[in-house]
């Protein structure tokens, strides 16, 4: 069995996320690799949403467009998503959809009422029907349900099990030969992880002890996870009154000696601009997660995009160094978060970590989370080796010795105005202001040298090279596979380190295609300006849905 696509569709408030997560955990417990992503509207109830799972024996962490099995919780969802079904696909939907070819009617709510006493348990009926349709072991499902609802008490847990059993029986009787799948078990052992939980754990690994943020989708999952686990993980979490306060609190905490983090989305990052500059002027390390969603303004608040790249690169007034990184999956998110803290600390600059709704909320199958690969690096100075402390001492490379207040007898000054080496405000334009600006900007050379070139896949042999960044890596790699299957010599370049762009020379004689989840080709513009690379064309998507291999392939004219 390989590359099976299951789509669960319904309205906001119908609980498709619960159905999807329970099914994902059940499939994973059978030893299969699962990738799950979701789209949903920004409303409390109604509209159309889907939770899509991709199942196989090896991890393929990218979205598919088709559905082999579609479970629709209401007739409207069935109508909306039925075009996704390919030949041989099957629709499971409530009674009323009929027993037409390729469809099986399962009365979820009625079965829930009969089996568990409440229609509320219709979702467990639905997941039981899915497990039966996929030929999986229902006992595995029952264990997953027991773990999920254990905290709600034995009565609730048992009601969910009864409902799931009813759905399983009903689907078993009605599916017959129309359900050809037999997911009896595989040998894989995978963890299910999402990008933002990996960011949060990476921050803890890096030694982060303070998070201040104002909730804004899709960054909120970092805040809620760390708030829930703050005592266990040793992170102080503060919900600020707005994003300007959030970043200033994070800068203040870092000045006081605590590694600190703030997280937001596009609109919130717009408010943080002044704080980003404050970190640049005071040379205070801080890590900012910018979780992208389509804009401008409120845009499509629950959907995905790669539309804030240039915004992150140019954020803040004035001229000062900063770094921008964009991880691609949860493992990468963990390690890049540790690295973001280390870069911020080493060069005393703000570092922006670009995520997006797709990375934040999708579930990835992870084989091995090598925590030990990322050891945090601290770059505080030793006060015992300093006779006269100057916070902003002019140094080769621009990085001054950093102490925090109260660490020693040395006085630690800071000023958001231009200042001298001790941190005292100055109007000495030529003698102090210019050398200070040059000192700060001189960090760029060291920062650039610390950043990594793009990850190359088959570039030397390729005629066509797809160039992407961030969470689109899986889709780009699959698009390359599609091209190669057609006999096209294709390869890919994937950028994680986006600013300052690392030293890299694009091989000559290739046709480069920029692949991005935005409308204007922001990476292409950045690469043209820094590397003078010429692109054959550009692949873009800006409808709030993730890039897929099929989307990319359709837009490449070869």
pLDDT digits (tens, 9 = 90+) for 250-299: 999 999 999 999 999 999 999 999 999 999 999 999 999 999 999 999 99
Tell me how far CA of residue 294 lies from CA of 218, 312, 329, 504, in angstroms. 11, 14, 20, 30
Contact 261, 203 (CB under 8 A): yes
132: left (phi over 0), alpha (psi -120 to 50) or beta: alpha
pLDDT at residue 181, as a whole number = 94
pLDDT at residue 299, as a whole number = 96
CA-nearest of 517, 508, 512, 478 to 493 is: 512
Contact 237, 211 (CB under 8 A): yes
Edge-first strand order for the sheet with 350-356 is 236-239, 208-213, 259-265, 286-292, 350-356, 323-325, 497-499
Q: Is the peptide bond before 475 cis (omega within 30 degrees of 0)?
A: no
- Look over the chain and give the mean of its residue pLDDT values, rounded to a whole number: 95
CA-nearest of 210, 268, 197 to 237 is: 210
pLDDT at residue 506, as a whole number = 97
Q: Kindly report the CA angle at 483 between 477 and 489, in degrees rounded to 5?
A: 100
Alpha-carbon dihedral 10, 16, 19, 22, rounded to 10 degrees: 150
Task: Give the model's confidence band at 367: pLDDT under 50 very low, under 70 low, under 90 confident, else very high.
Answer: confident
Region 489-508: what's the mean pLDDT?
A: 97
- pLDDT of 178 > 90? The answer is no
Q: What is the DSSP letter of 383?
A: G
pLDDT at residue 87, as a whole number = 84
pLDDT at residue 165, as a whole number = 98
pLDDT at residue 176, as a whole number = 80
| Higher-confidence position of 369 and 542 | 542
Tell me how far CA of residue 25 lies from CA of 87, 399, 529, in angstroms. 27, 47, 45
Region 104-117: what's the mean pLDDT?
A: 95
For residue 240, give the 3-state DSSP assignment: coil
pLDDT digits (tens, 9 = 90+) for 292-332: 999 999 999 999 999 999 999 999 999 999 999 999 999 99
- pLDDT of 200 > 80? The answer is yes
Region 416-440: what's the mean pLDDT?
A: 97
Task: Give the model's confidence band at 225: pLDDT under 50 very low, under 70 low, under 90 confident, else very high.
Answer: very high
Q: What is the DSSP letter of 425?
A: B
Long-range pairs of 87-95 with CB within 8 A, sequence gap ≥ 24 = 88/180, 90/133, 90/175, 90/178, 90/179, 92/126, 92/129, 92/130, 92/133, 92/171
- pLDDT of 373 > 80? The answer is no
| Euclidean distance between CA atoms 356 and 293, whole angstroms | 6
Sign of CA dihedral 110, 116, 120, 124: negative
Region 385-390: what's the mean pLDDT?
A: 96
Task: Give the model's confidence band at 96: pLDDT under 50 very low, under 70 low, under 90 confident, else very high.
Answer: low
| Euclidean distance between CA atoms 348 and 399, whole angstroms | 7
């Amino acid at each position: 069995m390989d590359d099976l696509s299951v789509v669960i569709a319904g309205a906001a408030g119908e609980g498709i996320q619960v159905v999807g997560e329970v099914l994902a955990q059940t499939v994973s417990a059978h030893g299969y690799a699962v990738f799950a992503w979701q789209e949903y509207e920004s409303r409390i109830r109604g509209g159309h949403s889907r939770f899509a799972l991709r199942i196989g024996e090896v991890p393929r962490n990218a979205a598919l467009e088709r559905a082999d099995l579609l479970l629709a919780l209401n007739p409207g969802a069935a109508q909306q998503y039925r075009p996704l079904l390919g030949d041989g696909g099957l629709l499971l939907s409530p009674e009323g959809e009929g027993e037409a070819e390729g469809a099986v009617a399962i009365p979820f709510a009625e079965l829930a009422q009969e089996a568990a006493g409440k229609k509320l348990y219709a979702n467990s009926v639905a997941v039981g029907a899915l497990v039966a349709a996929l030929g999986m072991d229902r006992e595995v499902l029952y264990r997953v349900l027991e773990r999920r609802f254990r905290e709600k008490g034995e009565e609730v847990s048992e009601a969910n099990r009864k409902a799931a059993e009813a759905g399983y029986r009903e689907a078993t009787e009605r599916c017959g030969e129309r359900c050809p799948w037999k997911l009896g078990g595989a040998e894989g052992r995978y963890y299910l992880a999402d990008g933002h939980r990996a960011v949060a754990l990476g921050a803890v690994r890096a030694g982060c002890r303070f998070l201040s943020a104002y909730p804004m989708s899709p960054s909120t999952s970092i805040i809620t996870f760390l708030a829930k686990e703050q005592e266990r993980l040793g992170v102080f979490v503060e919900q600020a009154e707005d994003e300007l306060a959030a970043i200033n609190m994070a800068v203040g905490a870092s000045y006081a000696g605590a590694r600190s983090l703030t997280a937001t989305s596009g609109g919130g990052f717009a408010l943080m601009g002044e704080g980003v500059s404050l970190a640049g002027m005071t040379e205070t390390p801080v890590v900012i997660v910018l979780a992208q969603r389509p804009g401008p303004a409120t845009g499509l608040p629950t959907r995905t995009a790669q539309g804030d790249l240039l915004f992150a690169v140019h954020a803040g007034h004035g001229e000062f160094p900063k770094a921008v990184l964009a991880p691609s999956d949860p493992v990468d998110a963990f390690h890049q978060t540790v690295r973001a803290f280390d870069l911020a600390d080493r060069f005393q600059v703000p570092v922006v970590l670009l995520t997006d709704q797709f990375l934040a909320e999708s579930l990835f199958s992870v084989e091995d989370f090598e925590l030990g690969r990322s050891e945090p690096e601290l770059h505080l100075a030793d006060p015992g080796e300093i006779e006269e402390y100057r916070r902003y001492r002019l140094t080769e490379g621009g990085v001054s010795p950093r102490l925090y207040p109260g660490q020693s007898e040395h006085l630690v000054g800071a000023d958001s105005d231009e200042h001298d080496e001790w941190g005292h405000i100055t109007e000495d334009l030529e003698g102090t202001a210019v050398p200070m600006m040059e000192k700060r900007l001189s960090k760029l050379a060291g920062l650039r040298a610390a950043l990594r070139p793009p990850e190359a896949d088959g570039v030397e042999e390729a005629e066509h090279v797809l160039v992407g960044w961030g969470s689109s890596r899986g889709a780009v790699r699959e698009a390359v596979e599609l091209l190669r299957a057609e006999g096209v010599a294709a390869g890919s370049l994937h950028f994680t380190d986006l600013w300052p762009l690392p030293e890299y020379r694009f091989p000559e004689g290739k046709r480069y295609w920029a692949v991005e989840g935005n409308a204007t080709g922001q990476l292409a513009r950045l690469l043209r300006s820094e590397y003078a690379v010429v692109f054959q064309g550009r692949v873009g998507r800006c409808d709030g849905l993730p890039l897929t291999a099929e989307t990319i392939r359709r837009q490449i004219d070869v």
